[in-house]
A and B are shown apart, each in its own frame.
Chain A
Amino acid sequence: MSLTVKNFLTVPEGLYVLALHETEGHAQITGSRSFRIAVSGAILMNLALENRIDSDLERIIIDKTDPTGDELLDMALNDIQLGNTGQSIQYWIEKIAEKSENWNDMILHSLVKKGILKMKKKKIFWVFTSQNYPVTNNTKTKEVNTRIRELVMNDEIPEIQDIVITSLLFYSGMLDLVLSDREINDNINRIEQIAKMDLVGQSISKAIEKTMLSYLISKIGQVVKGGKTAEEKLQEKVQENMKMYDLKSADDLPSWLKKDTDQYEKTKEFVEKVGTADIIYNSSTDKYTVKRYFPVEPPFC
């Protein structure tokens, strides 16, 4: 597959391309907290693919110490080598994410250099200059879309690289960059099966949940001043689903979206906890997952 150093794009670069393709090049998305956590996880996953680090349920272990040849990956590898040994995957995801100021420009410029993005400067209100990064070479995005779609819709044993990208997108709430809502809902068992095969991926969701929790606490004031309640967000989700599956009556909804059921109350609790109703429910495992932590629409043009 296409997302390793040897194959031209690194995993973090691949993630940038997918996100920027969706936002038509508006790089604001890359500043969001959950995106930074996802990129940090992508860096660790890439180091694991390159056999520089290994992990178990508890910690990251250094494998090979020679540089990968990629500036960003080597910066992270160096930090891990110099850092405390035996720290957890989640610790390193958060630690590397703290340095996002350093690597945001590094990744964007690397992609421009590789001919995947181009940099476009634009004046807003004749005064401010905004930088845009439209995707000029779309081949990689298409390739990833096709691979993931094929993988989740059959039961073949996945390649390591496919596991990495599926796990990364699933646990960072960005799978809808490559699959439609309906494809995600209809194949959620298979998606979860693949995603959990990567232990770094599993830690990404924990790190994002932690960072979202502190973000939500800081936003409580806004909610009190009139932000949407969990119930309101959930009702919007219900309407979306009725439309997507062309349902005539609310009785046809699955129980997790059907009002006055115990499962609906559980759904509401989860929405309250994570602050978004952009979620998926897997009835076989009785698990909720966030599908999308942040909007990807261009903020303004």
Chain B
Amino acid sequence: MDISKQKKADFIIVSIDGSLDTSNYALLDKELDALVSSGEQNILIDCANMNYISSSGLRIFLVYLKKIKAVNGKMVVCGLQNMIKDIFSISGFSSLFTIYKSREEALAAND
């Protein structure tokens, strides 16, 4: 899995490329922790190139949604592939997160 970051408007866009699983969830944890610790309050997770997520990956999403909400920030996701969309729906995560089709849509909606 590769993680890249980009600042756009009020958001930090975190793009995940590949599988988010047992072998690398700690890496995403570390990246998001660094962002939250440095005071970033609005995070957009771009999942367009993320093709797998395990429970530990979902857990990281949840932990940081809680942290970001605690500082009145926003954590939204975009670009979910169909399989990931199903996992979000089965696990009820789709009712917790605001999900956009693309990063453009997410940025426009939060402009």
Contacts and interface: CB of A to CB of B under 8 A. Distances in A.
Interface of A: 48, 51, 54-57, 61-63, 157, 159-160, 163, 192-194, 196-200, 202
SS class, residues of chain B in contact with chain A: helix
B95 A48 contact: no
A170 to B, nearest CB: 12
Nearest to B26: A51
B96 A54 contact: no
Contacts, number: 54
Contacts of A159: 66
SS class, residues of chain A in contact with chain B: mixed
Interface of B: 21-22, 25, 52-56, 58-59, 62-63, 65-66, 69, 86-87, 90-93, 95-96
B59 A160 contact: yes
B62 A157 contact: yes
A57 B90 contact: yes
B21 A54 contact: yes
11 contacts: A51-B56, A54-B55, A56-B52, A61-B21, A160-B59, A194-B92, A196-B90, A196-B92, A199-B55, A199-B91, A200-B55
B21 to A, nearest CB: 7
A158 to B, nearest CB: 8
B66 A196 contact: no
Across chains A and B, which 8 residue pairs bring their CB atoms closest together, nearest first? A54-B22, A157-B66, A196-B92, A54-B56, A63-B22, A55-B55, A54-B54, A56-B54
